[in-house]
Amino acid sequence: MRFILVMGWLAALWSNHLMAEDLRIGIIGLDTSHSEQFTLRLNDPANPNHIPGARVVVAFPGGSPDIEESKTRIEGFTAAVRDKYGVRIVGSVSEACKDVDAILLLSLDGRPRLEQMKQIIAAGKPVFMDKPVAASLKDAVAIYQLAATSQVPVFSASAVRWYPGVLEVANAETTPARGAISYGPAHVLPHHPDLFFYGIHPTEALFTVMGSGCLSVTRTTTASASIVTGLWSGSRTGTLHAIHEGAKGYKLTRFGDDKIAEQKSEGDYTPMLSEIIKFFQTKQPPVSAKQTLEIYAFMEAAEESKRKDGARITLREVMVKAGAPDAWLPEDGKVKPTTPKSVPKGLPKPGGS
């Protein structure tokens, strides 16, 4: 009996030691499902998708009364993280930054992000910024500049970047993709460029395949969808089909040297959250400021092309307008796609015959 008691005491001591080793995480923004899903994966060791090494200990709900998705869901998500997972609820960003090792900035609305980030960066906390980074490219650039000046590690990404099906397509060949098509939902909201909210997901899938080096975009828009075609260096093209109305889903197709690869599966938040915790531990972001800002420049240029009836807009011009430093600027976008010199041999026959 004494042996059992001693072993139980040692197990409890070891468990408490492991808990003490966990990073303490603060959440800002409880108006998105990510707040509950991330907390579930970090705070519940029994969950099959549990990610060890960190625990959410405090959260500031925030919220935006003029966004339906925010005001109608914040109460439920706040109750869930508090009552199910023991998270302490506080009344301000600054309180959420106290006595924690890192921050998950999950607020649904991009408009307050710059002011929120000023407080987080002043506290010196590494932070993951969920989508959207901000409600404008200008604010996104300002956030990354402030973080760089203060030497505070930050990063942002969409979960689709680590979906197994997306990675399978991206890595289908060792050579760069000649082109890609990505489609997905892009709900139009009045407060942000219309790709910044959900359009970020198929956009980031496109960039996961195509990589950096987008020079310019053109856009065709209807009530149902927007078709954004990007020209990459090396005369490569990437197309985003942003679905505004009608049937919605995600899919990615890659055109390569020897094969055409199509996405066959999706995924969930778990791989991205693993990358976030690794980032909090190492302070090394898996996606750089320049990479992320290129994606937001693509979406901002698409917005500008829409305003100008489909005109070609370079990413460099919108980045310069947003105040980006030279080190983050894309190429000037003057490269023109090359025309094939002849009809290639070995074309597939119709019907596969």
Q: Is the pLDDT of residue 348 over 90?
A: no
Share of the chain above pLDDT 90, in %: 81
Q: What is the pLDDT of residue 66?
A: 83
Query: Which CATH number does the domain 21-130 belong to among 1.10.40.30, 3.30.1510.10, 3.40.50.720, 3.40.30.10?
Result: 3.40.50.720
pLDDT band at 334 (very low <50, low <70, confident <90, very high): confident
pLDDT band at 70 (very low <50, low <70, confident <90, very high): confident
Residues whose CB is less than 8 angstroms from the CB of residue 265 and which lie 6 or more positions away in sequence, other chains included: 163, 164, 165, 168
- Mean pLDDT, the chain, whole residue set: 90
Q: What is the mean pLDDT of residues 99-117?
A: 96
Backbone dihedral angles phi then psi of residue 111, each to the nearest 5 degrees: -60, -45
Q: What is the residue extent of each domain of the chain?
A: 21-130, 159-271+289-336
Least confident of 25-29, 249-253, 281-285, 349-353: 349-353
Query: Which CATH number does the domain 159-271+289-336 belong to among 3.30.70.260, 3.30.870.10, 3.30.360.10, 1.10.10.60?
Result: 3.30.360.10
Q: What are 309-327's pLDDT values in tens digits?
A: 999 999 999 999 999 999 9
Q: What is the pLDDT of residue 11?
A: 37
Q: Is the pLDDT of residue 7 over 60?
A: no
Angle at 269 between CA 214 and CA 175, to 5 degrees: 35
pLDDT band at 337 (very low <50, low <70, confident <90, very high): low
Q: What is the mean pLDDT of residues 23-40?
A: 96
Share of the chain above pLDDT 70, in %: 89
pLDDT band at 353 (very low <50, low <70, confident <90, very high): very low
Q: Is the pTM of this model over 0.85?
A: yes
pLDDT band at 17 (very low <50, low <70, confident <90, very high): very low
Q: Is the pLDDT of residue 49 over 60?
A: yes
Q: What are 175-202's pLDDT values in tens digits?
A: 999 999 999 999 887 778 889 988 999 9
**Pairing between β-strand 23-28 and β-strand 102-105 as defined by DSSP bridges:** parallel
